[in-house]
Each structure stands twice: as C-alpha cells, then as structure tokens.
Structure 1
C-alpha cells in the first residue's frame, strides 16, 4: 500500500498540533519528510480548519488475533488477516503499530506457538511487499507463567521485526487479577467454565506461575537487554513488582494496576502505559486503577489501544477536553511522541522539521474525532 513518495505536498489551512502548542498554518511535505511548517500558504490541499496531528504510534495491540482467529477453531488466511488488521489500524490514525503476538499458550487456548510464527511471517511479507498502510513491528507478549513460554519465545526471538517484549503473568490472586471476583467474572464469561472447573483451572495457573514465572522472566529479560529489545512489565501492582522490574531493566510499565506501582515506575524512569479503552470507558474492566486518575496525578506517559484500535485517537481527544492539567498537545504526545521515544523510533512521533511525514487529518464531530485522511511518509494511505 506504500508507494513512491510524491515530490512535494502542501497541507494548508490546518490546525497543526505540535508537541507543545496548536498553531494555524501549513505543512510542506517533501520526500517523505516534514520540510517546513509555516503560518500560511497560498496554495496546497485545503484542510478546511481541521486538526493535523502526528501519526499515532501503537505499542501494544492484541487486535491482530481477532482477524486471524475470529472464532474458536477457525483460522483465517494469515496474509488476509494482516491486511484486514492493517486497514483498521490505519483508518484509526495509527501509522506505526507494534503487533502483539502471544508467547506462552495457556491450556484453554486453541492457538499454538507455531501459529505466531506464521503471523510474524505474514507481517514481514506484507511489509516487504509494500502492501501495508501502517509501519509494522512485532511485540512479544510473554506469558511467563506458561510452561511453554521460553520455547515460544525462542521461536521468534531473532525475528528482525521484534522490537518490544512484555513480561506478563495472568495467574489469579496477583497483578491484573488481585481481585479474585474480577478473575472469576472475566474467565467464566470468556471460557464458560463451571465453578469447579474454574477452581481447578485457577489452581493449575497458580502452580504454573510459582514454578515458571521467575526463571522465564530472568531468561527473557537477559536476552532482550543483550539484543536491544525494549522491555515492558505488565500489570505491576506492588512496590515489590516495581523493584523486580527495575532489576530486570524494564523500560515500559504496561497497565500498572495501582497508583503506588505507577508512581514508583514513573519515578524509576519507566514510561507508564495505560489502555485507551480505560480512558474512554472511565475505568478498568478488571476493577484496577483508572487511567484518568493516573493522568490527573501526572503519572501517565503513553496510551495504547489494546483491543480497540480507534480508542487511541478517541482517548487522546477525550483527555484533552476533560482533564484540566492536560492540553490537546499533551494528550497527543501520549499517543505519538512518547511511544516513539519509548521504542527508540526517533525519526517520527511529532510534527517537526526533518521528522517523517506521518500525519492524520482529524475533524471533531458530535464530540468524536473523525479520521479524514492519513499520510505515511508523505503518501496518502487513507
């Protein structure tokens, strides 16, 4: 879907969201980069007063699996699944996406580690062939409590698109599911298990966590640090969890479940990432800390769409409107500049001269931001 860069494009009569302010003016795109930002231009494509913001950068989306395995035991063609996922993220204003592939398969899943390799190759093939609207990388979601976690990680650890790995443990009674009632509601609703089946399942997951989580965390974090793969820790809840993350070289604190853990992570220099659906809904679906509360405390650095691609843009504009301490440029940094910095993608993430011309034209209608046009490296892709 990418194409040869147009020699020159001018976007005029735009409200341009820079890193620290909103200005009215024009942007000159040349050879895939932002060549100039000016107060006005007599010629160019009229943005009709719409916002122009940097292309969104998504670090953690589970959404690809929904296209590949839309029903239990159903598998879609992997290339077609990637194309469908790519189209949806691009139409949501996301120009750079880290596709999360699971590593470590629990007993209730009908997916296997080798299927993750199939998806990884489909992503790489689409990128190489120029079929994809967004720029894709791979994020390994490492369920460290799963017995086969390390085996699955080793299948993908040397893949050239792997740039991020998160360490997670969804065993009941801790982290995301410290509240056992929330665990019961989530898993019984998802897996349709009886009370006894759930009790047996929970006991096995706790046992697996006690046996495997520690060694798997250590092995994966050691490999990632040695190979310049960004490391994230998932659902930290306590100061002990944060201390462990610091010792393992964690860069990003994904979805901390308490203010205490978020504050300690932030003070330790980690980027605190929360879910955009949490912002849009106003609360966590697991009953944990609200992303809005962290934003009000100045503890929110990055937003992720998680399972709803459009929530990233929606959450940014919502925060800019509803949290007094957050301006629109600040909110947009949470979905562009900050994730770019966390992923060491220094060529993108803001509207500034010399940066990639990854841009989104947005019009707010009835309180909802609407994506009108998307450019990646100066080429229109939506």
Structure 2
C-alpha cells in the first residue's frame, strides 16, 4: 500500500472527533503528510475493531456436519466477513469440550492448525483462543504441549456441565441434539457427562496445577460466566485475569475492583440485554465495569454496539469506540493498535458518515475491505 494522507473526514482520536488528516507510512500512523492525499469528505475514520472473542467463524468452517473439509478456505471466507465489519484483529474462540463434534478435540486440532498455517497469507490479524472445559481431566497432562503446538496464546476456562440436573438424576436438556453432534448415542453421551460430573471434586486442585504450568508458558488466561466474587477470586488466584461475560454484577464488580479485565458481548448491547437473561452489558458499561466488547457470535455487532452506546448517551463516541478498539487491544497486550496516534499501526475502519456502514478497512495500511463509492476516491 502506498503512503497516504486521508483528508476531509471526521477522525476519531482518543479525545473525540477531529478534522485533522490521518497520514500513513509503511503501515503506521505518522504525524506529517507523506504521500498522495485522498479526500474522504463524508466519511468517518476510526481505529480498527479488535475483536477479543468470537465464534462466528464456525459457520464458515462447517456449514453442515462433515460438509467442510478444507479449513483454510473457510478461514479465507471468515476473514472477508471480519474485514467487511471493520474488524482488523480477531480472536477466534474454539472449544475443546465434552460436547464433541465441532467442539471436540479432533475438530479443534484442525482449526488451530489451519489458523496457524493460513494466518500469514491473510491481511486481518487472526489469533486463536482455546475455550477449555474444566472437567476434561484426562487432557490436563497433555494440554500445555498441545497449546504450544497449536500456537495458542490465550486460554479461557468454561464449565458448561449441567451439574444441577445431573446431581438430581434428571436428563440434561438438549441431550439428544448434543449426542447427535458428538456422534454418540444419547445414553452414551449422558453416561459420559455423569462420569465427568462424578470427578468434580478433583477439578480445583488439577486446575491449580494446570494454570501454574500455563502461566510458566506465558499463556494469557480467563474465566467464562463468573457468577460470584468468590469464584472470580479463585480464577484470579490461578492467574486468569480476564472475566468473560460475567453473569452477575457481583462478579463483574469483583473483577473490576481487583484490576481484572471484564469482557461483555456486543450482541448483548445491540439486543438491549442478554439473550439468555444474564447481566445487561449496557448496565455494566454505565457503571464503568466493562473494559471491552466482543462480537461473541455476531461480527457486525461491535460496530453497531459502539454506535448505539454513543447515540443513546451512555457514553461519548470516543469512550464507546474504545470498548471495541483500544480496550480489547490492551487486554491482549497489543499496545501497537487501537488508537489513531503517531507510531501506532494503521489499523483503520472507514464508515460512511450518513449510513455508518463500513466502506473500507485497513490493516497495517493494507486494504482488507473496500466497497462502493469510496473506491473511486482511491483509484483516481
């Protein structure tokens, strides 16, 4: 990409909108004009979106069970969707779970290998996150080596076993559907869940040891769906300093007060609340307890959520956009992006000022997406 000076647009700087030009040289923001000027009057120029957690890529990798055999082609299609939604850095969250199927170990192995192998051929910066079910004790010994082989630098722990129903002798909800996806009979799948549930007393100490090993490897860690302050404190003690989608204000407040990062889902904001009745992200943002918003399962939502927050007066545009750019970048330790200031990467999303749709996306000054009339501005 040649050196460029983007002029005439409203530019979102850390302290608000400005009409100052944005100059790009060798993939970085610089503080003086450098090249050909491109008039972007009628557009908004904002920092590229950093998506801290998303599993929307699944539909690109396997639209139907067994239908997609070439993971790399699915990731190419996924990148196109990411770029079209202004996402310049994306964390792809892949399960390893007792649920099996697309959340099983074999599928995860293929996904992580594909991300590792194809990433250098894409413009969007992809990162892999392992979402690991805490009761898979048989995998604990080998997991650190697997993580190293996969090139995964971020692990988040989940416990989605329906312990209450298993303890009460009731069949889990959605048992038949889960068994089908896992390739097991309902009876076998239920027995497997019961076996994992029966070993729950061994899990805390095993997690202590596993997290200590991952900490020594330099792995970033988080917990998912924290419900209590005590639970969040246990994860913090293990070195898991990211609280993903806390379910209660108590857990979110405990994380925030201890200096842990709190992540919520953008669809929660767009919908006006959690789809499953959990904590409202808008409430948490208004209280100052949210550090970042993620796509979760819907890639258009980070942009929409930030704009909705500003429109509703929950916070100003700079604060709202921080939740989808500099905020998540800081959680990942990526301090070279997230703001349009000299020296930072030229990770940029350009919105049509009237429709606020994504017109163009740049990653380190390279075009990852461009559509519509804006293209004429660059090819004159």
Q: TM-score, normalised by structure 1?
A: 0.85
1:1-382 alignment, distance < 5 Å: 5-6=1-2, 8-36=3-31, 44-103=37-96, 105-107=97-99, 109=101, 112-128=104-120, 131-150=121-140, 153-154=143-144, 156-159=146-149, 161-172=151-162, 187=174, 191=178, 200=190, 204=194, 207=197, 210-211=200-201, 213-322=203-312, 324-365=313-354, 369-382=356-369
Query: Does the aligned pair in 2 maintain the 1:89–1:309 contact within 8 Å?
Result: yes
Describe the shift of the 1:45–1:198 C-alpha distance in structure 2 as closer, same or farther (beyond 3 A): farther
Q: 1:331 aligns to what SS in structure 2?
A: helix
Q: What secondary structure, in the 3-state scheme, does the structure 1 residue paired with 2:273 have?
A: coil
Residues 84, 363 of structure 1: CA spacing in aligned structure 2 closer, same or farther, 3 A cutoff?
same
Alignment length (residue pairs): 360
Alignment correspondent of 2:375: none
2-side partners of 1:190 and 1:45: how far apart? 53
Deviation at 1:125, TM superposition (A): 2.0
2: distance between equivalents of 1:325 and 1:63? 27
In structure 2, do the counterparts of structure 1 residues 28 and 205 end up closer, same or farther at CA, with 3 Å as the change threshold? farther
- 2-structure distance, mates of 1:184, 1:212: 22
Whole-angstrom CA distance in 2 between matches of 1:86 and 1:298: 32
Instruction: Tell me how far 1:150 sits from its aligned partner.
Output: 2.6
Counterparts in 2 of 1:43 and 1:199: CA distance versus 1, 3 Å: closer
8 A contact 2:131–2:157 mirrored in 1: yes
How far apart are 1:198 and its partner, in Å?
12
Counterpart-to-counterpart distance in 2, 1:108 and 1:375: 37
Task: Say if 1:192 and 1:168 are closer, same or farther in 2 by CA, change over 3 A.
Answer: closer
TM-aligned CA distance change 1:184 to 1:13, over 3 Å? farther
Instruction: Write the distance in 2 (CA, Å) between the matches of 1:17 and 1:231.
Output: 31
Query: Contact 1:172 / 1:205 at 8 angstroms: preserved in 2?
Result: no
Whole-Å separation in 2 of the counterparts to 1:289 and 1:124? 34
**Long gaps (5+) in structure 2:** 181-185, 370-380
- In 2, Cα distance between equivalents of 1:300 and 1:132: 31
| d(CA) in 2 for partners of 1:59, 1:272 | 11
Secondary structure of the 1:293 match is: helix
Q: Is the 8 A contact 2:272 2:280 kept in 1?
A: yes
Give the whole-Å Cα distance in 1 for the aligned partners of 2:300 and 2:67.
25
Point out where structure 1 has 5 or more consecutive residues left out of the alignment: none
Cα RMSD (Å): 3.0
Task: Tell whether the 8 Å contact from 1:60 to 1:99 is kept in structure 2 after alignment.
Answer: yes
Between 1:233-242 and 1:206-215, the stretch displaced more is 206-215
